[in-house]
Chain A
Amino acid sequence: MDFVAITSCPAGLAHTPMAAKALEKAADELGLKAKVEQQGSMGLKNEITPEEAQSAKFLIIGSDQKIEKMDRFKGIPTVRVDINTCIKKPKAVIDKVSKAVAAREAAK
């Protein structure tokens, strides 16, 4: 798994699925294996398993909301981004987070 992501918005109805679809599509186009969970009006959709979470290189949280079940991602580099940026520039988000995480790892 290259990365996992979670999207969530105030109503959990419109922006959550949009951002999820945008990130999935971008990952596909970039040739990356990813799973995007939606925490929205229907609860957790496409839920990331603890195994998937731990196999990911990083976690993108496209939200300013409180995220449920964060304990799955213990030890996984996590970056929060604006959900609108995920919708508008999903490829740039993935690229930027990927580089930031790599830089963070290199600095260790």
Chain B
Amino acid sequence: MTDIFDRHYIFLNEDFKNREEAFAFIAKKAVALGFADDETAVKAALDHREAEASTGLQDSIAIPHAITKAIKQPAVLFVRSAHGIPGWETMDDQAVTQIIAMLVPEGSSEQHLQTLSDFSAALIEEKERQALAASKTPDEVYAVLTGQKQN
């Protein structure tokens, strides 16, 4: 778990005008953090998946994901936008502000795929989505997304 998601992969002070900007940011961070070696390829993979169907969910959450050879290590980034991102279709028409981005190497191990699956499956719980929206610090976001109880 810790190698896939970490407090350092949480970015709470961004503000995107559109999905393009958000994906460019995620791709840039993917390379900067050493998960991928090609920014353009990561962005293209995110766009490619989005073109099949929007990854917007409910309660302002979206779960874009990229599967590409350019990604060398699986990781989850959490990015929050101060303003809702227009033009990103969601299930309840609430604009996306909470982005859980999954970076997936081609041919990932079952263990890694399972961990990534668990991230999204947890978002079925309304309590989880509300806790995520209410979280203000990287520690809080980390605790919510990894299922750790805060005292």
Per-residue interface assignment for chain A, residues 43 to 86, with 1 indicating a CB less than 8 Å from any chain B CB and 0 otherwise:
00000000000000000000000000000000000000000100
Cα separation A88 to B90 with both chains bound (whole Å): 11
Interface residue tally on A, bucketed by range: 10 to 19
Q: Which of B53, B58, B67, B124 has the most chain A CB within a 10 Å cutoff? A: B124
| Closest CB in chain A relative to B139 CB, distance in Å | 24
Per-residue interface assignment for chain B, residues 25 to 59, with 1 indicating a CB less than 8 Å from any chain A CB and 0 otherwise:
00000000000000000000000010011010110
Q: Which residues of A contact B67 (CB under 8 A)?
A: 11, 13
Q: Across the interface, do B124 and A13 meet the contact criterion of CB distance under 8 Å?
A: no
Cα separation A47 to B49 with both chains bound (whole Å): 26
Q: Which residues of A contact B58 (CB under 8 A)?
A: 87-88
Question: 8 Å CB contacts to A: which residues of B59-76?
Answer: 63, 65, 67
Q: Across the interface, do A13 and B57 meet the contact criterion of CB distance under 8 Å?
A: no
Complex: chain A residue closest to B67, CB-CB: A11
Cα separation A14 to B113 with both chains bound (whole Å): 10
Q: Across the interface, do A88 and B117 meet the contact criterion of CB distance under 8 Å?
A: no
Q: Which residues of A contact B110 (CB under 8 A)?
A: 42
Q: Across the interface, do B91 and A14 meet the contact criterion of CB distance under 8 Å?
A: no
Interface residue tally on B, bucketed by range: 20 to 34
Q: Which residues of A contact B65 (CB under 8 A)?
A: 11, 13-14
Complex: chain B residue closest to A64, CB-CB: B53
Q: Which of A11, A25, A41, A42 has the most chain B CB within a 10 Å cutoff? A: A11
**In the complex with contacts A11-B49, A13-B65, A88-B124 CB distance below 8 A:** no
Q: Does A35 contact B (CB under 8 A)?
A: no
Q: Which residues of B contact A18 (CB under 8 A)?
A: 57, 120-121, 123-124
Q: Which residues of B contact A40 (CB under 8 A)?
A: 117
Complex: chain A residue closest to B109, CB-CB: A42
Q: Across the interface, do A87 and B57 meet the contact criterion of CB distance under 8 Å?
A: yes
Query: Could you list some 18 contacts between A and B, CB below 8 A?
Result: A10-B49, A10-B52, A10-B53, A11-B67, A14-B55, A14-B120, A17-B121, A18-B57, A18-B121, A18-B124, A21-B124, A25-B124, A41-B108, A42-B114, A42-B117, A84-B53, A87-B91, A87-B124
Cα separation A87 to B123 with both chains bound (whole Å): 10
